[in-house]
Amino acid sequence: MAVTHVLPVSCRPVSVSALLSLQHVACVSNSSWTTNQQRAWEKEAELSVPGHLALPRVSLLLIGCLRVGQGGEWKLTDASGSVRCECLSPSPDWLNHPVFLPHWNYIPHNSPGQNQKVRGYVELIGSPAVLHSGPDQELAASPGEGAGFRRAVGVREATGLLHNRTRGQRISVYGLVGSVCPQLVVAGTTFFCFWLTDESHTVRVLVKDITRQWWTRCVYVGLSVCVTALRVCVLRGWRGNYILCVTDQSELHTNYTDTLLDTPPPLVMSHVENEDCEKVEPETDKAGFRMKKSRIISYRGTVTQVVSDAAGLYVIDRKVGLCLSYQPTLRRKLRAGDSVELHHVHFLYRPCPDFPPSMLCTCLRSSLRVTAFSGVVGAPPPDSGGLPRLLLEKNTGVSEYLWTCHLCSQLGHSLVPSLLKQHSVSVLSWKLMESVWRRGRRGRRDIYSEMLDDPHTCPLSQYTTDPTVHQYLSVSVLIGSLRSECWSSVSLSSLLPAGGSSLSRSQLNTALAWSCRTLTSDLQDGPRTGDSLGRRPLLLVGLLELPTLTSEPTVQLRDATGAVACVVTETSPEGGQGAVFNSAWIGCLVCVEQFTMVTERFLQSDFPSSQQLNQDKYITRKHCRVYLQFSLDHLHILSPSVAMTTHLGQRGEEIGGDGRERKQMVEEEETAGATTAGRKRRREASSVTVTTGPVDGSLRPCVSLVIRVEQKEGVAQRNRAAGLTVEEAGLTRCFSVRAAVVGPVVSWERDPKNGPVMDRETETEREDEVVLVLSGGSARWFPLLQPGCFYRLTAPNTQDPSVLIGSGFSGQRGVELHTDPTLQVQSDWRLHTLTRPPLQALPPTVLSVTEVLDSRSEMVCFQAQVCDRISLSDRTSGTGAGVCAGVRLTVCDQTGRTLQVYLDLSHTPYPLGLLPGNTLLLSGFQRRVSRSGGVYCRSLPVSSITVMSLGDTSSARPPPAPMMHLGVWALSREQSSIVGQVRGHVVCFLFLLLQWSCSLCGSPYLQTCSSSQCPSTLSVFHSTAKLVIDDGTGEAHVWFSGALVPALLGLADSTWEGLQRALRVRGHIRVTPRGRSMACDDPLLHFLLCVCSGDVGCRQLSLTCRKPNQQRAEAMKRFSRGEQDFMTRLTPPLQLSCLHLEAV
């Protein structure tokens, strides 16, 4: 059949070599199209994939001969060279004939980082024009072939011949192509299979002949074909055994027509309805996981997004995901805009929450055919080239693989290139998947059963669904989410304590000055609306680092997007939780899976009362601090530092099986100065290497000193040393450490880091003490230096021992001060924790709260749990809004006794982790006694605060108060200012006071404030009650106030609000039920008398009370009986303040 093409004059022929060498931009050539046709095509191409531009048009003519290349690929060849050619529906009759290409795309191979030896390829948009004058060879054959063609049998007859085979027999079979399996290469042998079907029978055809591999381009599902000269073979490794195999005489005839081939074409879906997906897919539970069975469908659509062509991930029709990773890699990568047709593809619903709900996954039975090539230019997708290779080796599930691919894409943005090289991201992602999912490895894939069995089974037949799988976030995204939701997630009224409406103006603004929001990484803290973090557990990956000069003095977690401060604890050598002390963690790339996100809110406001909390004009300024809390015991080490490798080697552990190998390779690098190509490849394939600069253990001489920290002062802003320039003068971060020198100064050829302590490092007759002064850059070691721990202090680039010998101070006129030598630690010196100390150190003396209350020492060091915190703002100093000038902590121990600690933060960095529930070590605090006799502590410039253990900050409660007997408690003089539980019955009410007071000055408030000098027009409601409680051992007068009063009276909220409205006019009322008649003319007073004298006056109560520091002293009182006067000494009743009330 002759086809005429009208070509424009501007067209010019181009050779294959010129096309490959000169054309570096993707283009399209539609030689016979008019301008209007070209514009319509460009518009249609750009509408199919929004955001992409159509391929630019060129006027080039390609003429050559279509031939078969290596592996069955088609090539266009001329005298200058050859180029790979991709066809939509190729015909065997095009081969070995000169052709003219009227419509084609050229896609150059210019992706960065790829093998540049691989050239571009040509896509045939339409059929080529065959340039020969011979007869039509659609079904032409030689005489011998024609005889075999005429003796062709159907699929039904071929099925019978499989079980009754004759040696040497050759048969020809015709039928419809039912399935085309992908081309495989196993043990150097290339082959593929396809199925022939009729109405009720199927046969499998194995194409193993290397000269017939081009058939894989010609056969597709629904095509009628006839294959000649097939023989019956036994396929080892497949339970079906018998299969039809192509011989060297076999021929493929497409578009075969026969009256018997009336089987309808397969049903192809063009969209997927998500509503009925979960009803159709059966679910089972297996080993605690939710298992679902996939469905087998056919689908036709357009590729709209290339997620990662190296990982085989795409999006079709903007809503359906496509995963090709369970098939061999396509020779031609799919491009955005390609129209594809998929058969025998697995449909999965919600296998991974990071991908579209509807997913199509291909296995070794699935067939993929491109029905129309894309006409747009696509951007290169992110590289995930290592994941398919790992999938082939590990044979993991599709849910795990999709999660790993998404993680790999995110890690590429948050860790590359500042922390990791691109080729390490895939290995890192796979390590994270194995540690997070913790699934057992599957067995090897049976490729023959997967391609040939019916019913079909493969790794995609079942899959797991876990909507709560971990979600990875970069540091910047996490900080941004927490900051954006800092104030939007809370209302100011919820920050007030119970009975907040009765707070005065100063009490109200003090209560709002500081608040805290904590979220655990599993995000199971109750329902939230508008939370950008979602409901999935969170996962962080970053590098542990020391703080900078401008950050908080805590360990930091950093990735390429930012850094976040961290309050970190770890298991101490004694086995309990303690502050972080091991320097080997610094420089480790870690995965943080269990952590707490803390957002501290600071608000400077001047609200007159709680009624104006919704008016922002009373807010002067607000800001927040965001940080993390976690234990090092919950970290996964992804890439250890050299010091961590040494530490784990001493403990006999390894990280991922390559810890010792990494240590050996790093030492070889330090010795040789460079790595060979073979060692580099081995390291890249087996481990993840952090790219943070040169290894910190090069051949530099150094001197070291082993010390034991005895005492650490707090870090503060102090004046720098004298003699500095004007630019250098000013305040800088500084602290000092008192340490015991274990041995002499030792010289080294290279930094020993945290290696084992040598005998020469401990050769000393006595231990001297030295004061280490760390300021500026050296102050970064503050979070790691802990009392009782051993460290190796190293000074690099020197062999002079005198640099580590402290110097004494000399006073004026030659008077020598008897102080310990002082050593100024330089910024380039390093401290390495020695986890195997050379000597047994005595633990420092640490008191409890009870011991501090009973102590007589002025300076104390104690450990306690935070149970309450109040921010103290200095409104007269002119400090910036939101800056916390001080903090009052209420701490307790296991006995329930509490102590108030006042912190002055005017010249110290803001300490993190001072949250209710956390346990703190407070060193160098001054113990004081107030004028009322109460004991409290206050911080000094040398005071230090260390977080020792992390508690449940979201619901922190102090230990339960001890049960107290009133008779014993009243006589005790040592148990003042403590909290106790009392269980007894109400004897009587002494009085009840209800009144409206001015919110500013506290004066009584009727219609206006009773104070003429107060301009306030707002009032708050106050309530106070006093009653007598008897527990059988004694009596006590207990005071109630605020929200405890309506609970004590047993009044509902509506009744209590009505009572407040009734008192608006009169301002106040005082009720004294004892000894008073119930008859009165005032209905309000009568109501309250009835309430106080009713069931409330005789019920049982369980109270938590505090005993004030000062009790009334004994007094002499005169009694008269008749004419006799008696003088007696009366013990005043015990006075208690109720903190909590429960009815028994």
Q: What is the DSSP letter of 882?
A: T
Contact 965, 1107 (CB under 8 A): no
Token pair 């000038």: residue: 885
Contact 980, 1105 (CB under 8 A): yes
Residue 471 forms beta bridges with which residues? 538
Percent of the chain scoring above 90 in pLDDT: 42
Burial 573-587 (b: 16+ CB within 10 A, else e): eeeeebbbbbbbbbb
Q: Judge whether residue 563 has pLDDT over 60.
A: yes
Taking residue 1087's Cβ as centre, other Cβ atoms within 10 Å add up to 14
Write the DSSP assignment of 909-936 as a string of letters: PPPS---TT-EEEEEEEEEEE-TTS-EE
- The candidate with the shortest Cα–Cα distance to 327, out of 275, 374, 362, is 362
Taking residue 985's Cβ as centre, other Cβ atoms within 10 Å add up to 15
Q: Judge whether residue 243 has pLDDT over 50.
A: yes
pLDDT tens per residue across span 761-815: 888 777 788 999 999 889 999 999 999 899 999 999 999 988 988 765 444 444 4
Q: What is the DSSP letter of 267?
A: P
Q: What is the C-alpha to C-alpha distance for residues 301 and 315, in angstroms, rounded to an integer?
A: 10
pLDDT tens per residue across span 293-317: 999 999 999 999 999 888 899 999 9
Average pLDDT of the segment spanning 197-203: 89
CA-based R_g, the chain, Å: 41
Which band of pLDDT confidence, cut at 50, 70 and 90, is reported for residue 676? very low
Contact 244, 205 (CB under 8 A): yes
Q: What is the C-alpha to C-alpha distance for residues 105 and 57, in angstroms, rounded to an integer?
A: 9
Token pair 């996954």: residue: 361
- The candidate with the shortest Cα–Cα distance to 180, out of 214, 216, 212, is 216
Write the DSSP assignment of 590-652 as a string of letters: EEE-S-EEEEEEEEEE--SSGGGTT-GGGEEEEEEEEEEEEEGGGEEEEE--HHHHHHHHHHT
Q: What is the C-alpha to C-alpha distance for residues 517 and 482, in angstroms, rounded to an integer?
A: 10
User: Of 1107 and 384, which is predicted with more confidence?
Assistant: 1107
pLDDT at residue 953, as a whole number: 61
Phi/psi of residue 370, nearest 5 degrees: -85, 120
Which band of pLDDT confidence, cut at 50, 70 and 90, is reported for residue 162? confident
Helix (H) or strand (E) holding 449: helix 447-452
Average pLDDT of the segment spanning 406-426: 87
13-22, 260-269, 517-526: which has the highest mean pLDDT?
Answer: 13-22
Token pair 């051993």: residue: 790
Q: What is the C-alpha to C-alpha distance for residues 157 and 195, in angstroms, rounded to an integer?
A: 15
DSSP reduced 3-state for 750: coil
pLDDT tens per residue across span 1083-1138: 888 888 888 887 776 788 999 998 887 666 666 777 777 778 888 877 788 889 99
- The candidate with the shortest Cα–Cα distance to 1112, out of 1090, 1136, 1091, 1095, is 1136
pLDDT tens per residue across span 35-79: 898 999 999 999 988 888 999 999 899 999 999 988 889 999 999
pLDDT tens per residue across span 74-113: 999 999 999 999 999 898 889 998 999 989 999 997 643 3
Q: Judge whether residue 824 has pLDDT over 50.
A: yes
Q: What is the C-alpha to C-alpha distance for residues 512 and 496, in angstroms, rounded to an integer?
A: 7
Which band of pLDDT confidence, cut at 50, 70 and 90, is reported for residue 724? very low
Burial 132-159 (b: 16+ CB within 10 A, else e): eeeeeeeeeeeeebeebbeebbbbeebb
Which band of pLDDT confidence, cut at 50, 70 and 90, is reported for residue 1068? confident
Which band of pLDDT confidence, cut at 50, 70 and 90, is reported for residue 242? confident
Token pair 């009144």: residue: 995
Average pLDDT of the segment spanning 343-369: 95
Paired tokens of 1100: 């049982």
Phi/psi of residue 590, nearest 5 degrees: -130, 160
Paired tokens of 236: 């080892």
Instruction: For the full predicted model, state whether its pTM sits above 0.75.
Output: yes
Which band of pLDDT confidence, cut at 50, 70 and 90, is reported for residue 231? very high
pLDDT at residue 807, as a whole number: 64
Q: Is 20 exposed, middle or buried (0-12, 13-18, 19+ CB in 10 A)?
A: buried
